[in-house]
Amino acid sequence: MENPVIRPRRLRRTPALRRLVAETAVAPRQLILPVFVREGITEPQAISSMPGVYQHTRDSLRKVVSEAAHLGLGGVMLFGIPEQKDAVGSGAVDPAGILNVAIADVAAEVGDALPVMADLCIDEFTDHGHCGVLAADGTVDNDATLEVYAEMARAQAAAGVHLVGTSGMMDGQVAVARTALDGAGHTDVSILAYSTKYASAFYGPFREAVGSSLIGDRRTYQQDPANAREGVREALLDVEQGADIVMVKPALGFLDVVRQVRDAVDVPVAAYNISGEYSMVEAAAANGWIDREAAIVETLTSIHRAGADVILTYWAAEAVRLLHDR
């Protein structure tokens, strides 16, 4: 056999050569750190199913976001965990509620140096754990929920949020949030729409992280994991309604959908590297089954390669060093 003239391995011979021709590179500015802040605690509480992730106090939250700004991350996404819940999630719209005061804390800490994002959904605040208000028959009332979302958007904007994360998967939620924000004079507040959010089995650790009260599932409003075209349709609808960024959640099981959404829209696309994806890597690494740091870099690179401009990940802060050392 003649020696091959075409030798792709030439460009893989050294780390420097591999860096030279790398097609995909994740930058810190593309990473969003999700952060949990819990009412009524005096020190951070470890989340057992998510090693290295904590429910923060208001004070420890300030330190986390200050570090995130110093690292050059793309932003933080805040989730609030209240002491008290009720059927309509009233803590979500209360200016003194944990999420809204946390937004104000963070905005005061970092100003415009770090985009401050907040979850716009009431599941953490309802005693039934659903993302919306329940009708008399126990189903989630889409339109009644939209009224709450509008009030929540106004409350978060008043607290100083830069982007609201519409995550409840109610039909029309982006349009309602945009109208509410504009009507209250918050025309500069952006919307990161959880447009393509699937009813996934990989949310389990997140339920612990936010102290979820959910009984049952969310399959009547979150998307069927079997459907990709529906996910693209949802993203297009959200762009039409005023979304500034659209997101696919989860990321790893839906990289094909990330690519299809990226090809379909002309706004930035985000993907959420969710709790179950995080915990699987951490558990496998703790058992010595995989190289943890290499797996983190590979995971984030694959999400970006699929088309995500922005990645929400619990590894965001650590990934800055890993990506630099790569």
Check residue 213 and give its pLDDT: 79
Q: Establish if 9 belongs to a structural domain.
A: no
Q: Establish if 160 belongs to a structural domain.
A: yes
The count of structural domains within the chain is 1
Q: What is the 3-state secondary structure (H, E, C) of the chain?
A: CCCCCCCHHHHHCCHHHHHHCCCCCCCHHHEEEEEEEECCCCCCEECCCCCCCEEECHHHHHHHHHHHHHHCCCEEEEEEECCCCECCCHHHCCCCCHHHHHHHHHHHHHCCCCCEEEEECCHHHECCCCCCCECCCCCECHHHHHHHHHHHHHHHHHHCCCEEEECCCCCCHHHHHHHHHHHCCCCCCEEEEEEEEECCHHHHHHHHHCCCCCCCCCCCCCECCCCCHHHHHHHHHHHHHCCCEEEEECCHHHHHHHHHHHHHCCCCEEEEECHHHHHHHHHHHHCCCCCHHHHHHHHHHHHHHHCCCEEEECCHHHHHHHHHHC
In CATH, what number is assigned to the domain containing residue 44? 3.20.20.70
Which stretches in the chain have pLDDT values below 70? 1
Prediction pTM value = 0.95
Active site residues: 197, 249
Check residue 324 and give its pLDDT: 84
Q: Establish if 4 belongs to a structural domain.
A: no
Check residue 204 and give its pLDDT: 81
Check residue 1 and give its pLDDT: 65
Average per-residue pLDDT for the chain: 95
Q: Establish if 188 belongs to a structural domain.
A: yes
pLDDT tens, position by position, 196-231: 999 999 988 888 888 787 777 888 889 999 999 999
Percent of the chain with pLDDT over 90: 90
